[in-house]
């Protein structure tokens, strides 16, 4: 196990040297860590649970995403703590401990890629790999004050990665600065190193989504607005009530709409319905992937995880076809909204990281609001990046940009170009 000086981020330390020492490689001299969901030849892939590690053999090959980074010149230094079976966005693991959030030690680090985010945030490595199914890169990136990138669904190989729910599984990555985020992305996405920067055709602020957040609306959006105006002018900025747009253009969502009027202040009905469809399909695919193992082994699972796994095992095929229809309709709707080079601006999460050991019922309310935001990119399969905006009331705050499926290189370039100006605006805002 990791020591206190590691912030509890690692489950296993080792050195996988780069495959080549050629001086021109994009990731030369950089170190990285990987979530304990990636195969490494000769090592058991633990999936965040000791019963899983006990009942599975050592991997016979290394995941292609890890190989690509080694081929790019980077050195892997170990595996990191994750939530059990990737089934949480919290980051607390009763078996291996909870990695310590470097921004806020009394708060959760976010999951399920908790250790990977902490390793970057604590400057133990230059970048790290995680996976993002429901939000497991974006959430810990926000909580730990770093960049986190969820790529377009299907563009980075998930071979050699234990599946959670294949309709949503992606290999994502963390970094402390946008240049390294971009360099890692170009290796994983197999993009040219130098691509001309394309001006965004529109940057759309989803006004209603910011009402889901406890962070003051103007605080986060104004920083981005000022940066965009300086770089591209104000004409590129647009505003949208995303919930109304989605409701009008994703007709199948009506099957997932709730009749409840409870907590309407913190609820956008169409996005809550989107979250319901996403989580139903996730449960169904999780059951197909791991239901037999869970039923046979009866693993020791922590609080929250055990309940979600039990619920998944009860899932039937009912309404699964509707979930797939929602995915297609949402992708078409958001493609029409953004075009090839548009960007949607939303909060990454509905507020700062919850305190450690917050009671389950309180966390579930926060989790429900979070998934209303996280399901936008999750269901559409679009790419999304978390951008850290510094600290507010001693807690990290952030914002997210979402771009159309396949626009990953464009989004990485945009963030790198914007961030120096964003830093200036952050400094002016908090001085």
Tens digit of pLDDT for each residue in 100-127?
Answer: 999 999 999 999 999 999 999 999 999 9
Tell me: do 112 and 252 sit in the same domain: no
Of 112, 128, 398, 400, the catalytic one is 112
What CATH number corresponds to the domain at position 179? 3.90.1300.10
Predicted TM-score of the model (pTM): 0.97
The pLDDT tens digits of the residues spanning 271-315 come to 999 999 999 999 999 999 999 999 999 999 999 999 999 999 999
pLDDT of residue 1: 42
Last residue of a domain, one of 140, 161, 188: 188
Residue 18 tokens, joined: 């780069």
Q: Identify whether residues 166 and 255 lie together within a single domain.
A: no
H/E/C letters for each residue in 214-238?
A: CCCHHHHHHHHHHHHHHHHCHHHEE
310 part of the active site: no
Could you read off the pLDDT of 158-195 as tens digits, one per residue? Answer: 999 999 999 999 999 999 999 999 999 999 999 987 77
Catalytic: 375?
A: no
User: pLDDT for 192-203, tens place per residue?
Assistant: 877 777 999 999
> Do 144 and 210 share a domain, yes or no?
no
Tell me, yes or no, whether 264 lies in a domain: yes
Q: Are residues 140 and 255 in the same domain?
A: no
Shared domain check, 85 and 207: no
- CB-based contacts of 212-215 (< 8 A; 24+ apart in sequence): 212/266, 212/268, 212/347, 212/350, 212/369, 212/372, 212/373, 213/347, 213/349, 213/350, 213/351, 214/350, 214/351, 214/352, 215/347, 215/351, 215/352, 215/392, 215/397
The one catalytic residue in 113, 114, 116, 136 is 136
Contact 95, 302 (CB under 8 A): yes
Q: At 260, is the pLDDT very low, low, confident or very high (cuts 50, 70, 90)?
A: low
- Residues 63 and 157 placed together within one structural domain of the fold: yes
In this structure, is residue 295 part of a structural domain? no
Per the structure, the count of domains in the chain is: 2
Q: Identify the domain containing residue 215 by its residue range.
A: 202-273+316-430
Residues 19 and 80 in one domain: yes
Same domain, yes or no, for 38 and 133? yes
Specify whether 423 is catalytic: no
């Amino acid at each position: 196990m990791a020591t206190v000086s590691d912030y509890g981020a690692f489950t296993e330390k080792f050195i996988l040297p780069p495959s080549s020492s050629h001086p021109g490689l994009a990731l030369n001299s950089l170190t990285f860590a990987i979530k304990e969901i990636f195969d490494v030849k000769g090592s058991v892939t633990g999936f965040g649970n000791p019963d899983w590690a006990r009942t599975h053999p050592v991997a016979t090959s290394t995941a292609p995403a890890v190989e690509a980074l080694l081929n790019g010149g980077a050195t892997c230094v170990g595996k990191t703590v994750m939530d059990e079976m990737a089934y949480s966005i919290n980051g607390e693991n009763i078996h291996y401990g909870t990695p310590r959030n470097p921004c806020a030690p009394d708060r959760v680090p976010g999951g399920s890629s908790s250790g990977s985010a902490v390793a970057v945030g604590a400057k133990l490595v230059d970048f790290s790999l995680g996976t993002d199914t429901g939000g497991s890169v974006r959430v810990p990136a926000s909580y730990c004050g770093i960049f986190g990138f969820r790529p377009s669904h299907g563009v980075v190989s998930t071979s050699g990665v234990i599946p959670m729910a294949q309709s949503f599984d992606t290999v994502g990555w963390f970094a402390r600065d946008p240049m390294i985020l971009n360099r890692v992305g170009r290796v994983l996405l197999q993009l040219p190193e130098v691509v001309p920067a394309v001006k965004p055709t529109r940057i759309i602020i989803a006004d209603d989504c910011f009402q889901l957040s406890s962070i003051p609306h103007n605080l986060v959006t104004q920083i981005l607005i000022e940066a965009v105006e300086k770089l591209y002018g104000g004409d590129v900025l647009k505003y949208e009530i995303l919930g109304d747009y989605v409701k009008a253009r994703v007709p199948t969502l009506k099957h997932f709409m709730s009749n409840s009027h409870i907590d309407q202040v913190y609820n956008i009905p169409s996005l809550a319905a989107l979250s319901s469809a996403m989580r139903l399909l996730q449960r169904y695919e999780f059951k197909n992937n791991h239901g037999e193992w869970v039923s046979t082994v009866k693993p020791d699972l922590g609080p929250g995880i055990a309940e979600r796994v039990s619920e998944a095992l009860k899932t039937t095929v009912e309404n699964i076809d509707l979930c797939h229809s929602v995915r297609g309709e949402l992708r078409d709707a958001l493609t029409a909204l953004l075009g090839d080079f548009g960007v949607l601006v939303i909060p990454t999460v509905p507020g700062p990281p919850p305190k450690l050991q917050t009671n389950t019922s309180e966390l579930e309310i926060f989790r429900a609001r979070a998934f209303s935001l996280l399901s936008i990119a999750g269901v559409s399969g679009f790419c999304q990046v978390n951008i850290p905006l510094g600290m507010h009331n001693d807690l990290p705050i952030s914002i997210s940009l979402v771009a159309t499926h396949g626009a990953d290189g464009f989004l990485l370039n945009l963030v790198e170009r914007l961030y120096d100006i964003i830093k200036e605006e952050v400094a002016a805002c908090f001085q």
